[in-house]
Amino acid sequence: MKTLNHEACIYSILKECQGHDVPRLFYKGYIYDGYLGYLFALALQLIEAPRHIDLTRLTKKEKELIVNQLRSIHNLGVLHNDISPRNILYEPKSCHYFFIDFGLSEIVDNKSSKLHKEEARLKKILQL
């Protein structure tokens, strides 16, 4: 639950990125399960037919777009902290890429060197 609460906080910070860089957060709070009782849950935008990014098929333009999306997240002082292809989804219907899984993320000063290191890591993964 601690991770979900943290992730909910991060999605609140990333409000202006929701829907294009990260999925939209529709609901955060408790739901009644009937078996386990009340559970903390997040309801996020449905990404239709999601695919993890395929590094062998991305164009240079797509790679640059993904880097710019990470910069938008960084500009709000959020360090993802778990950058990998499994945490970037592609939605074929909308042709959008989305960063997901902010459970390990940190709130940092938007001038932090950690942000530059993370961007460099993404560029290395994307072979840019």
Mean pLDDT of the chain: 94
78 token code pair: 């959020």
Q: What digits encode the pLDDT tens for the residues 62-83?
A: 999 999 999 999 999 999 999 9
28: left (phi over 0), alpha (psi -120 to 50) or beta: beta
CATH of 4-126, one of 3.90.1150.10, 1.10.510.10, 1.20.140.10, 1.10.390.10: 1.10.510.10
Band the pLDDT of 2: cuts 50, 70, 90.
low
Entry pTM:
0.91
Contact 11, 102 (CB under 8 A): yes
Q: What residue ranges do the domains of the chain occupy?
A: 4-126
